[in-house]
Amino acid sequence: MLRARLRRGSWSTPLGVVLLFLATSIALPLARWGDSALVLSLIPAAVAGYLAGRHMVGLVPAVVTFSVVLAVSLPVSYVMPGTAPLGDWMASVLIALLTVVAPWWFGRYRMLREEQRESDAAILADRAQAEERARIADDLHDTIGHELALIAVQAGALELGRGLSSEQREQFRALREASVRASDRLRDVVRMTRPEEGPSRIDPRGGDGIDALVSGARDAGMRVEARIDHGVVSAADPLIAELAARTVREGLTNAARHAAGAGVVIDVARDEAGGMTVSIVSKGSTEAATQGSGHGIPSLRRRAELLGGSLDADSRQDGGFELRLLAPMRPETVAQRPLNAPDPALRSNARTARRRVWQATIVPAVILGLALVGFVVVQAITFGQTAITSEVYESIELRTTRAELAPLLPAGIPGPVPIVAEPPMPDGAECEYFAARDGWLHFTDATYRLCFDQGVLVEKTLLEAS
């Protein structure tokens, strides 16, 4: 979901490419002259590889740089003075992997881990902001919404009072309608502010909160009959007690908003299973119900389910409405469904980081694999076209004609490598050269020289490095 962002201190791509190019280019001279002072260049090459991996964001430019340098070093190994071009090139590949690519991978791994931590911190910060918005939204809905509903009830009761002039009745009616409109607008704001998922949060109030809610509703003019078992509320876990208080408040708010003038019956008791049951029944309204899409009941239902209970809201046959909560005395599902369960965004971010680490691991491995395959193919072709084994060499006898030796001899090579000492050729003879190898993985500087005089073998010599 979240892509890695450019970090402060990251390098530009050209700078990283130049650094990797210089560091990797040291591998071929080290393979050719590893016994010289060039060995000291291993340290800056490894440091350069690590720093490039740590600060260079792009993966593709680094891989292309490695590939180009290692590919170009193969023909260069034939141009540079030396003994075994293919062997030197293979050694340079291994040196580059150990001294440059491995530190680069470690640096890139650390960079990706740091990016993941930064992304996780951003996700958690966004989550904390969302939770704070949810808390504010719940507070608005549960407190201000409830008070607005009671204001509407009080205004409605005053509107029906005796001895009022028509102007006063109109003012009370306008006050009631204004409170209803304010409640509806508050609900719209809450819907935009609060995230769709997640439990709601309010300050604990418990049984004292239920009594205060009932008293406030009665003072506002609502007809409330309350049968509250305070022993059950006191014995319940604070989270369950708070859930009960919140359910009562939601029931009273809905009754005041949608069933103004109707009586409300509240029952809080212990159920047959040993848990708590809370029921808020609003009887048929004496006025036309104000319709609206509620936010509180879905929020309550999510919270009840999280704590191991259930919440039902149904219309009654007599035209009333019942809000019913069934909850255990102790939360039952908190341990089974931890609140700190991994966030989906964090899981997605971790998967992205793992994928990028695997990409940084697999690509160099593929380069090495392709280099090995290319090396094997070239070695096999070279061996078949330029080399003869010691067994074949020993079987060749002097005075044998070139035509008789043709089935045993490949095309050969132009001449021995520069460091091989070559004695003078026999007078009037023409000499052919063959690599002295007993297999395609046999690396040696030795060369076989076969000299023919008028098509007859007059000398065979093993040339070795001096």
CA–CA gap between residue 366 and residue 60 (Å, rounded): 13
CA angle at residue 59 from 53 to 60, to 5 degrees? 140
CA–CA gap between residue 174 and residue 245 (Å, rounded): 31
Would you state the pLDDT for residue 279?
92
Would you state the pLDDT for residue 399?
93
Which secondary-structure segment (H or E) carries 87? helix 85-96
**Residue 130, burial from CB neighbour count under 10 angstroms (0-12, 13-18, 19+):** middle
Average pLDDT of the residues of the chain: 76
pLDDT over 70 (residue 136): no
Would you state the pLDDT for residue 199?
42
- The pTM is what? 0.46
pLDDT over 50 (residue 336): no
Would you state the pLDDT for residue 144?
66
Q: Which two tokens stand for residue 125?
A: 């910060």
Report residue 201's pLDDT band, with 50, 70 and 90 as the boundaries: very low
Mean pLDDT of 282-301: 61
**Count of C-beta atoms within a 10 Å radius of residue 388:** 22
Query: CA torsion 216→221→226→230, rounded to 10°?
Result: 10
Would you state the pLDDT for residue 191?
61
Mean pLDDT of 33-59: 79
Q: Which of 316, 332, 228, 220 is nearest to 277 (CA)?
A: 228
pLDDT over 70 (residue 295): no
**Are 452 and 460 a contacting pair, CB within 8 Å?**
no
Q: What is the distance, to the nearest Å, from the Cα of residue 248 to the centroid of all Cα atoms in its chain?
A: 43
Report residue 450's pLDDT band, with 50, 70 and 90 as the boundaries: very high
Q: What is the pLDDT of residues 347-394, one digit of tens each?
A: 777 777 777 777 777 766 776 777 777 777 777 887 888 899 999 999
Q: What is the pLDDT of residues 243-260, one digit of tens each?
A: 888 888 888 888 877 766
Q: Give the bridge partners for 264, in sequence order.
A: 224, 282
Would you state the pLDDT for residue 222?
80
Percent of the chain's residues with pLDDT above 70 = 69
In degrees and rounded to multiples of 5, residue 240 shows phi and psi of -70, -40
**Count of C-beta atoms within a 10 Å radius of residue 225:** 12
Q: At residue 239, what is the residue type?
A: L
CA–CA gap between residue 291 and residue 299 (Å, rounded): 19
Distances (CA, A) of 147 to 216, 249, 255, 257, 322: 9, 10, 13, 11, 21
> Would you tell me the crossing angle of helices 42-55 and 13-25 to the nearest 10 degrees?
160
